[in-house]
Amino acid sequence: MHKVVFHIDELDKWDHTLSNITNLLDYGLVNKEEYHIVVLVNGDAIKGYLDEHLRNAVEQFSREGVRFHACNNSMNSHGIEDKQLPENVEIVSAGIADLVSLQEQGFAYVKA
């Protein structure tokens, strides 16, 4: 089983990341390799969780097992409240602490 965290901190990096995740999931299916995927979103990219097109993608990927994290500091900076996030998005206190913790747990890191 493979573990990878994608780090998105710029709004315009969402689309390429979602495309990378699609390709990784396809690769896993074809090669019978399991990928445990987390997407940690902080900085300006946090606004992506309010975008309709991206919300639909987040909800679809969540159903396929991808986990999405939102940095609470970034939410505060951008005036975003818990109830505005798509379903199943997990709020973490500090995005960087989450990235450190995941890498300590053996997650590979990919910067968007």
Nearer to a copy of itself, 43 or 86 (CB): 43
Q: Does 73 bind a copy of itself (CB under 8 A)?
A: yes
Contact at 8 Å (CB) between 52 and 21?
no
The residues with which 71 forms a beta bridge, in sequence order, are: 92
Q: Which C-beta is closer to a copy of itself: that of 53 or that of 111?
A: 111
Near a copy of itself in 8-37, by CB under 8 A: 9, 16, 20-21, 23-24, 26-28, 30-31, 33, 35
Tally of CB atoms within 10 A around 50: 13
CA-CA distance, 55 to 10, in Å (whole number)? 16
The span from the CA of 93 to the CA of 87, in Å, is 18
Q: Interface residues with a copy of itself (CB under 8 A)? A: 2-4, 7, 9, 16, 20-21, 23-24, 26-28, 30-31, 33, 35, 42-43, 73, 93-97, 99-101, 103-104, 108-111
